């Protein structure tokens, strides 16, 4: 279903998300919570904020039949999301030599979508990227490790749904010419309702060390209490 809105005299189509009977995702991905909902060719769904010029939430499903099925070695170029009005987009150069040395951090990760060039290209859209502290983004004991754990659970359970959340402060730091907001924290919920499995992880977006991804496990109820 498409919703038409007027933006400075131009018509923009916003795709409304449809997640079946998943009440949580339907509460999050709607026009009252998101300035724009991006469907990303059906591979994942993004709740985008014009204020922060970045994603607030990203959700997708990992299927056993696709995860680790191809493992394309190529990594594609980042590209601007032309579906977003230009004044609210983030650009690749916004991150180059940025003041806070933030990585271009994926929300829907490339390693989970490397089964085709179409899916891989989708995750390299800048609307799927947030400023992420490099030790959090790259560490197998932190964000990268939880991404790998999600793929493992998809192969173990047949499939999992993954919900990524991004938290911004009241007066966030900004980077780049387009003034992209730097999150204060990010989190990931991994679940399969049929198998009664749910696990949540929470990361402050700062320089830190960890012994294991277990250090970041939190009660899922704390993450979704406002919904």
What are the per-10-residue average pLDDT scores of the chain (227 residues)?
38 51 93 96 97 98 94 92 97 96 97 96 98 96 98 98 97 97 98 97 96 97 82
Superfamily of domain 22-223: Extracellular Endonuclease, subunit A (3.40.570.10)
| Nearest alpha-carbon partner for 52 in 17, 88, 12 | 88
Question: Can you tell me the distance from the alpha carbon of 103 to that of 182, in angstroms, rounded to the nearest whole number?
Answer: 11
Cβ atoms of 13 and 38 closer than 8 Å? no
Q: What is the mean pLDDT of the chain?
A: 91
Q: In what order do the strands lie in the sheet with 54-63?
A: 36-38, 45-49, 54-63, 159-167, 185-192, 197-204, 217-218
As a whole number of angstroms, the distance between CA 87 and CA 208 comes to: 33
pLDDT for residue 18: 60
- What does residue 175 show for φ and ψ, rounded to 5 degrees? -130, 155
pLDDT of res. 12: 38
CA-based nearest residue to 34, from 11, 6, 57, 61: 57
* CB contact at 8 A, 81 and 126: yes
Pairing of strands 197-204, 185-192: antiparallel
């Amino acid at each position: 279903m498409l919703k038409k809105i007027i933006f400075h005299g131009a018509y923009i189509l916003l795709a409304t998300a449809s997640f079946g009977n998943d009440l949580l995702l339907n509460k999050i991905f709607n026009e009252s919570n998101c300035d724009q909902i991006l469907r990303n060719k059906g591979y994942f769904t993004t709740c985008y904020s014009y204020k922060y010029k970045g994603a607030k939430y990203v959700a997708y499903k990992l299927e056993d039949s696709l995860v680790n099925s191809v493992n394309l070695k190529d990594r594609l170029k980042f590209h601007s999301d032309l579906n977003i009005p230009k004044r609210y987009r983030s650009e690749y150069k916004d991150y180059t030599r940025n003041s806070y040395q933030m990585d271009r951090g994926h929300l829907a990760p490339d390693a989970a979508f490397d089964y085709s060039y179409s899916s891989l290209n989708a995750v390299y859209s800048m609307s799927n990227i947030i400023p992420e502290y490099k030790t959090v983004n790259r560490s197998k004991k932190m964000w990268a490790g939880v991404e790998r754990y999600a793929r493992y659970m998809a192969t173990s359970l047949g499939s999992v749904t993954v919900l990524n959340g991004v938290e911004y402060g009241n007066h966030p730091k900004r980077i780049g010419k387009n003034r992209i907001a730097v999150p204060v924290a990010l989190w990931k919920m991994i679940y399969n309702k049929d198998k009664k499995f749910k696990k949540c992880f929470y990361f402050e977006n700062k320089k830190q060390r960890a012994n294991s991804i277990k250090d970041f496990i939190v009660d899922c109820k704390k993450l979704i209490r406002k919904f």
